[in-house]
Chains A and B, each alone.
Chain A
Amino acid sequence: MTMPAPEAGSTTTDQPLLSLRGVTKSFGAVEVLREVNLDVRLGRVTALVGDNGAGKSTLIKGVAGIHTFDGGDYLYEGQPVHITNPKQANALGIEVVYQDLALCDNLDIVENMFLGRELTSTGVLDDASMEKRANETLAGLSVRTVKSVRQKVASLSGGQRQTVAIARSVLWNSKLVILDEPTAALGVAQTEQVLKLVRRLADNGLAVILISHNMNDVLQVADDIAVLYLGRMATQVDAKKVTHAQVVELITTGRLSTDPPPAAAVAHEEMSASAASTTDEEAQS
């Protein structure tokens, strides 16, 4: 299976920040990921979509070091790496913002942003530096929704919490931020806020993987869309070249039945991808 070539005129670098080649993962007899390829580039939002059970979480957990892939290549900045725990992923500049947030209500924003990685000087917490850096990070993301970084997280709205969780992930000079359903529990206005923030992350030069079930969100902010179908990468396409209906079709059937999508290059790639998956399925059944 070949990957789509970087499009002509694209402003991003040719070399993907993260490149997965034929990764596999099984839990016992269950094959969750089968020969999955994925490219994630700096400065772009890559949406990872797929139905429940398609393997999105497993793929992300593999990238983040929570699980280890059984096979395949994990290339980071062009170099093969072997990640077996979350700390190694963090060290490479990979941060995950989980769906169920993982913030402590009883701590304030600064304390949450630095949780587990507190700055200390001679063994004592360096609160002043932490507060400064938290302020700078939030300002860098143009976050104006939080009144004071010394507020307890319990007092924040869902959107503000998500903002804090995202800001926390960029605090560590991270290069790849993985967002797991960041808008799932939010209202309309807050979703808008968070999506803008996601866009800003990519515009600031980070690579972003966005997992979402909401096609409107995906089409609004994503540059690339990677569709997982039953543990296989159905396709990875430029978001501008697919329609809402086509993405839904890819998610539900793993291929496109309709005739050529807008761009010929993409169409070729998709056809070969869906053709491959079709034969695989037929072979199994």
Chain B
Amino acid sequence: MSTMMDKELENAAEVPDNRVTSALSEYFAKVRGGDVGALPAVLGLIVLALVFTTLRSETFPTAFNFGNLLNQGAGVIVIAMGLVFVLLLGEIDLSAGYTAGTAGAVLGVAVTTHGWPWWAGVIVCLATGAFIGLIIGLLVARMGIPSFVVTLALFLALQGVLLQIVGEGGQIALTDPTLLAVMNKNMPIWLGWVLYLVVVVVYGGLTFRRMVTRRANGLHAERTTVWAFKFASLVILLGAVVYLLSIERSVNPAVTSITGVPVVVPLLLVLLVATTLLLNRTAFGRHIYAVGGNAEAARRSGINVANIRLACFVICSTMAAIAGIVIGSRDNGITPNTGGGQTLLYAVGAAVIGGTSLFGGKGRPLDAIIGGLVVAIIANGMALLNQPAGVVYFVTGLVLLVAASVDALSRRRTASTGR
């Protein structure tokens, strides 16, 4: 008993005089052991940004294009965040794209055709998503049909539903100013900086307090240098983003001025924080990881595996419905093609590129954002290079393949080094 405690105390005492080198060597040991996390995606993001900056120095690294990038990526990112829940279980939802479209169409019908207020439309839209998720969840968790088959069927069926609602070649226009603001409006510059300060102070404060109290209790705590490094990166990175978004990015400032953080950014932030807290800080979230890691072990621990599966599909489809609002807002309406095409595959790609495992048990909502930015940057940069669509698809496919290979290799590495 005392030996263990002494050891803990030693560890606690060691922490204050730690050096950056030991923190780094720990990190490298972790990466070598196969736990690469979001590292490949972050490196990819940097490399891609550098490549496109070199090739298109006059159009790519501009404030205007940066704002565009976020808008292009937002829909895919939200779907990908929802997919993380399903991927964590080792399942898949191929219908998430058309769930977004269908829920968006329901929103359009409610608000545009029937003249409902925007919030009522949003509630119906989210309920549509949740309902679709419930159907998928029941079929997968209760009937035991593989999710690949169920969601492939729904991929086709929902495509039909969307077409029926919107009408062939038709469009449901979204005109509600609140809904359009999501993707077309920016926050005042000062509000952007206030948001920045709130995020930085809250994140820094909470993580610092956690580290200190854990150390005081003799528990395993993050090193101060590691914490400082993470905090500093956040301060610099987010600061750079807010700064870039605060400068004038209109092509013709005299006609219209475009400045400030897009409204969709705080929306993404809220979704990120909510899903991350759900997964990391609640028993429900822990059970999701457990089911993804070893469903039998979870069952023996008294976890209701079927209910967890059901809940994850509902969350995924509800997130897709939110994506439906985002995409509808960007396109000013819903067409039979909303959420179709490459949307779903880009979203799966985003989650996997960000570091979420297709084998289940490993992934974070943050992966969806990092991976989503990689996907968006490829599409954006290739378009600026005037590459034909074929080449863009091809390159995106290659990147996805690389990401999946990294995932598989890191799993093998984990198995062989036992880390």
Interface residues of A (CB under 8 A from B): 86-87, 90, 98, 100-107, 111, 115-118, 120, 123-125, 128, 131-132, 135-136, 138-140, 142-144, 148-150, 152, 154-157
Q: Does B324 contact A (CB under 8 A)?
A: no
The 9 closest A-B pairs by CB, nearest first: A116-B301, A139-B4, A104-B293, A106-B293, A106-B361, A102-B297, A116-B302, A118-B283, A115-B301
Q: Is the CB of A125 within 8 A of B418?
A: no
Interface residues of B (CB under 8 A from A): 1-5, 8, 33, 213-214, 217, 219-220, 280-283, 286-287, 289-290, 292-294, 296-298, 300-303, 361-362, 414-415, 418-419
Give the residue of A117, A123, A124, A150 whose beta carbon is less than 8 angstroms from that of B301: A117
Q: Is the CB of A103 within 8 A of B294?
A: yes
Q: Is the CB of B214 within 8 A of A128?
A: yes
Q: Is the CB of A131 within 8 A of B220?
A: yes
Q: Nearest chain A CB to B419's CB is how many angstroms away?
A: 5
B5 to A, closest residue via Cβ: A139
Contacts of B289 in A (CB 8 A): 104, 106-107, 111
Q: Is the CB of A139 within 8 A of B296?
A: no
Q: Is the CB of A115 within 8 A of B219?
A: no
Q: Is the CB of A155 within 8 A of B419?
A: yes
- Max chain B C-beta neighbours (<10 A), residue from A106, A120, A128: A106
Having A115-B298, A120-B282, one finds 13 other A-B pairs with CB under 8 Å, namely A98-B300, A101-B297, A102-B300, A102-B301, A103-B297, A104-B298, A105-B294, A106-B294, A117-B301, A117-B302, A136-B1, A154-B415, A156-B418
A85 to B, closest residue via Cβ: B302
Contacts of B362 in A (CB 8 A): 106
Give the residue of A86, A102, A128, A154 whose beta carbon is less than 8 angstroms from that of B296: A102
Bound-state CA distance A105–B136 (Å) is 27
Contacts of B213 in A (CB 8 A): 128
- Max chain A C-beta neighbours (<10 A), residue from B1, B5, B219, B302: B219
- Max chain B C-beta neighbours (<10 A), residue from A128, A138, A149: A128
Bound-state CA distance A143–B1 (Å) is 9
Give the residue of B3, B282, B283, B415 whose beta carbon is less than 8 angstroms from that of A144: B3
Bound-state CA distance A155–B414 (Å) is 8
Q: Nearest chain B CB to A32's CB is how many angstroms away?
A: 21
Q: Is the CB of B1 within 8 A of A150?
A: no
B35 to A, closest residue via Cβ: A152
Bound-state CA distance A115–B219 (Å) is 19
Give the residue of B3, B287, B298 whose beta carbon is less than 8 angstroms from that of A139: B3
Contacts of A143 in B (CB 8 A): 4
Q: List, sorted by A's number, 24 A–B pairs whose CB atoms are closer than 8 Å.
A: A98-B300, A102-B296, A103-B297, A104-B293, A104-B297, A105-B361, A106-B289, A106-B361, A115-B286, A115-B298, A116-B298, A117-B302, A120-B283, A123-B282, A125-B280, A131-B220, A135-B5, A136-B1, A142-B3, A143-B4, A154-B418, A154-B419, A155-B33, A156-B418
A110 to B, closest residue via Cβ: B220
Bound-state CA distance A276–B312 (Å) is 57
Q: Is the CB of B293 within 8 A of A107?
A: yes
